[in-house]
Amino acid sequence: MSITLVAIGGAIGAVLRYLLGLFIMSKRHKEGLPIAMLIVNILGAFGLGIFIGIYNPGPEPLQNSLYVLFSIGVFGAFTTFSTFSVEAMQLIQRRQFKFFWTYVLVSVLGSIILFGLSFAVTVQLL
């Protein structure tokens, strides 16, 4: 059962990332900061913070259907780390070091801060 939920959530998350990524890239042609996955990752971390704030999965989250569907499936697959690593690598290859540091710091710290913020605010509001 859990496997099916993760598969469904994973498919939805990945397709949403793909479509949003294409949409953002269609608006920006400039070569430079790879903003599409930056936005996707921060947005996904923000969304997961709200979800975890609303829904406490308990001490064994991996046994929890809703947690598995949304946290592991949808948000897990919507965000990505492999593309982050490869895009960071490509910025080094192009010797765009300023973009490299901006991309790495904003992606990682931005995701962490927005997750923490959305989680804390959601818990406060409920």
Q: Is 21 annotated as a binding residue?
A: no
Structure-block tokens of residue 67: 């947690």
Rule CB under 8 A: which of 18-37 touch another protein? 18-19, 21-23, 26
Site string for another protein, 38-77 (x = CB under 8 A): ---x--xx-xxx--x---------x-----x--xxx-xxx
d(CA 33, CA 97): 11
Structure-block tokens of residue 15: 């397709």
3-class state of residue 25 by DSSP: helix
Q: Is 79 annotated as a binding residue?
A: yes
DSSP codes, 57-70:
--S-GGG-HHHIII
Contact residues toward another protein (CB under 8 A) are 2-3, 6-15, 17-19, 21-23, 26, 41, 44-45, 47-49, 52, 62, 68, 71-73, 75-86, 88-89, 92, 104, 107-108, 111-112, 114-116, 119
